[in-house]
Amino acid sequence: MKIKDYIVKGLIALAAAGIAALMLLMALHILTESFPAFAQEGLDMFRTDTQWRPVSDKPQFGLLPAMAGTLYISFAAVLLALLLGVGCAFFLNFYVPDKLAKILLAFIDLVAGIPSVIFGFIGLTVLVKWLAVHMHMAAGQCVLAACIVLGIMLLPFVVSTCCESIQNAREHYELAGYALGFSKEMLIVKVIFPAIRPGIVAAAMMAFGRGLGETMAVMMVVGNSPIYPAMMGRGQTIAALTALEMGSIEYGSTHLSVLYAANAVLLVILVLVMICGRILRRMEKDE
């Protein structure tokens, strides 16, 4: 191996170690800053009768509404992305010429690089306005709008992952299926779809992890009310709550520590989701 190959390999290893160390330091910082909240408030932060009133005479730091909003919106958005994304992946692989499918898939992947604020702005000016007019709502900002915007943002992740799984399944089963006399539709329903179910679940987990941390787009359309979410009502997520209040909090206060605690919980959920997604992807490759 040439010297330059050793140098490049060392730089890549150093970059990987640096990123891992940075993530570890971030996690330690979040956990350290959240300790005062757990020490002072304890499980009161997660009681159903505790509201989010951090600046009242008797402050309350109820995190359950924001946690419920985060999980509710992310789950609904992933469900929407799966309903559209899986069908789109099958359509691109079986009913579109290969050259055109590659071009369309490239454009779909390009959507993942669009800044979230653009999705939020379009959702605020188009979707929210449409809901306010046609659903007779006061403002139009609601959980439904957040689910639709976030679901569209998650589509590229679902389509790309499912396309990869479908291509792998076709290499193993397509010729054998046609040799047995299966039609294209029967091959999709009876063979390919069951074969890629681990990939679909993995795509859902990856998209769910991505949706948990989305901030700007959701914040612009969800209404940002610290109440339990309802589809046609307002809600709030942990990421949006942090973005809205972090700039106006006194450093070292319980209020700030509670926000760190909320993000610590979000980080734990995100790590568990990503681990499950990785395990499912490995299971699919082993098959």
Handedness of CA 55, 251, 261, 67 (dihedral sign): positive
More confident residue, 276 or 18: 18
d(CA 197, CA 186): 16
Mean pLDDT of 221-229: 87
pLDDT value at position 78? 93
At 79 the pLDDT is: 93
Does residue 19 have a pLDDT over 70?
Answer: yes
Q: Could you report the per-residue pLDDT of 179-205, keeping only the tens digit for each?
A: 888 888 888 888 888 888 888 888 888
Task: Kindly report the average pLDDT of the chain as a whole number.
Answer: 86
Query: What pLDDT, on the 0 to 100 scale, is given for residue 61?
Result: 85
Residue 136 Ramachandran class (φ > 0 left, ψ -120 to 50 alpha, else beta)? left
Predicted local distance difference test score (pLDDT) of residue 114: 86
Is it the case that residue 271 has pLDDT exceeding 80? yes
How confident is residue 281, by pLDDT bands cut at 50, 70 and 90?
low
How much is the pLDDT for 285? 59
Residue 269 pLDDT: 84
Copy the structure tokens of residue 42.
């304890």
CB atoms near residue 55 (< 10 Å): 9
Which helix or strand (DSSP H or E) is residue 52 part of? strand 52-53
Q: How far is CA 85 from CA 167, 174, 189, in A?
A: 15, 21, 16
The pLDDT assigned to 83 comes to: 92
Q: What is the residue whose two structure tokens read 């990856």?
A: 206
User: So what's the pLDDT on residue 284?
Assistant: 58
286, pLDDT greater than 70: no
pLDDT in tens, 174-186: 888 888 888 888 8
Going by pLDDT thresholds of 50, 70 and 90, the confidence category of residue 122 is: very high
The 10s digit of each residue's pLDDT in 50-98 is 888 887 778 888 888 888 999 999 999 999 999 999 999 999 988 888 8
> CB-side exposure of 79: number of CA atoms within 13 Å?
8
pLDDT of residue 149: 93
Find the mean pLDDT for residues 248-276: 84
**Percentage above 90 pLDDT, the chain:** 18
The rounded radius of gyration (Å) of the Cα atoms in the chain is: 22
- Position 1 pLDDT exceeds 70: no
